Structure 1
Amino acid sequence: MATPSAQMDGRDLPPRPEKPAKPARYISKFRPFVKHEAEKNKSRWKTMGPAKVAVPSPKDFLQKHSKEPKLPPRKKEQNSKKPPALSVPRRTDRPVMGIQSKKNFINTNAVAAIRGVPKKPQPFCVDTRQGDKYLLETSGLAPKYIKKKDYGVTPKYVARRNEERKRAKEEYEASILEDLKKKAMKKLSDEERTNVLQALKKNWQETQREYLGLSVVIDTMHKKMHKQRLELKLKELEQDIQALEMHEDVYIANE
C-alpha cells in the first residue's frame, strides 16, 4: 500500500485539461482603406474645437455705428471740390426792400384762423358715476342710421321675395278655382230630368213585379236575403222618385 506521503505527491494526480487556444480575431482586409477614408473626410476641429484661438486685440473693440452701411462718397467730394460756404447775414444788415416771397404764410395762417370753423368736441356717453365714458357714435345710442339715403326703403331681396310669394299665391288660387270649376255641380235640364224620372219609375215597376213574384212561403236563408234586397231597392227608388218630383231644379256632381 502507498504511504500518505506518496499520495500527496503530484505524480499520481490526473493531468489538468488543456484550454483550447482561441482563434485569431477576424480583421477585414478593407480596414486600412476605411480608416484612411474616415481620417480624410473628418474635420477634427468640429468636435474638439480649433487647436489655437486668436485672442482679439484690445484696440479692435466694437465702435458705435461701425456695422451700419456706409453710403458711397459724393461725386463732388471725389473731385475734391468743396461747396461754397453759406453766407449768414449779420445782425446789422438790413433786408432788401421791394422783394416779396411767393406766399405770405403769416397772413395766410391768420386768415385761416379767423375764418376757420372751431373744432367740435367728440360727444361722449357716461354710464357710471365714476366717470366711465365711451364714444356716443359707436355706442349705438345715437340715431345715425336714420340719416342714410336708403333709410326706410325696402331692400331689393325683400321686394323680390314678396313678389315671388304673391305670384305663388295667385297661382295656387287659380289652380283651386280651376279644380272647383271642374268639380262644380251640373244642372239637369227638363228633358234630362223627365228621362231620369221615367227610368226610375220603370226600374221601380220591374223591381215591384219581381217582388210580387216571390213565393208565399219563405223558409230558406237565400229567399229571406233576396226579399230584403228587393225591399231595400224599392225603398231607395221611391226616395229618388219623390225627390225628383218635389224639386224642379236638380244638380249633379261632375265626375
Structure 2
Amino acid sequence: MSNAVNPPESVYNHLEMEEVHSGKPPRYTSKFRTTVLREEKQNKCAMRTMGPANVEVPAPDKYLLKHSKEPKLPEKKDFSAVAPKTSTLRRPPVPLRTEKPLMGLQTRRDFVKTAHEDILQKTPQPIYADTKRGDKHLLENSGLVPKYRKKKDYGEIPKYLHQRNEETRRAQEDYDQYVKDQRRQGSMKQLSEAQRHAILEGLRKNWDKLHTEYQSLSVVIDTLSKKAHKERLEMTMKQLEADIDLFEKFNTIYISNN
C-alpha cells in the first residue's frame, strides 16, 4: 500500500493524550455585589454631574453674542452737520469809502518795547551739534561758553575750603598744646631719631626672621599643630608690618609713661 492511504507509523500515536482545558478558572465574584449595586443606585445624587433639574433659560435678547465682551471704540461723530463756533460770529463789514476814521484815540501800549520782546522771543537760541550722532543741544549749558571765568570770584579759593583749613589748623594747635602739657608734667617723652631708627631696624629684623621661618614650612599642612603654627606666624608678621608702617610714616613719636 502507498503512504497516501495509511499514515506512517509513529511512536506518538501509541501515547495517551492528556485532555487540555483552554478555559480559565472562574473569576472571583463577591457575594455583596448585588447589594452594593442596589445601594449605589439608591444613594446616587441626581444633580451630581448633570446640574440642577430645573434651570432658568435666559431670554433670547440676553444671549451672549460673539465679540460682545471685546472693548469697543467710541462712536465717530459726524462734524459735517455741526457748524463751527466761529461761523456764527461775523466780522465787522469793510468801511465804506465815504466813512471817516475815528480820530483822537490814545493807548498806553509801548509799541517799541512790545516789538523788542517779540524780536527776542523769535530770535533763535545758539546750539551746537554732535558731529558723530547729529544731536543738537543748547550752547549755553554745554560748557563751551566761558561764562564761569567771567564771574567775580573766579580763581579764588571757595569758602568751605577756607573753613576746612581753619578747622585743621585749630585741631593741630590743640594737639600740640596737649603734647606740651603732657611733656611738661613728665607723663610723655619723645623718641629721638636714633631710637626711632633702632626700633625700626629691630622690627625689620624680626620680620625677616619670621619670614624665613614661614618660608621653611612644609608644603602640605596636614596636622592641627602645623596649621596653628602657620596662622600664628601670619598674625605676628601682619602686626610687625603695621608697626613698621607706623614708624616709617611719623618722624615724631611720643611715648606715654603711664
Q: TM-score range by the shorter chain?
A: 0.3 to 0.5
Mark the structure with the bigger radius of gyration: 1
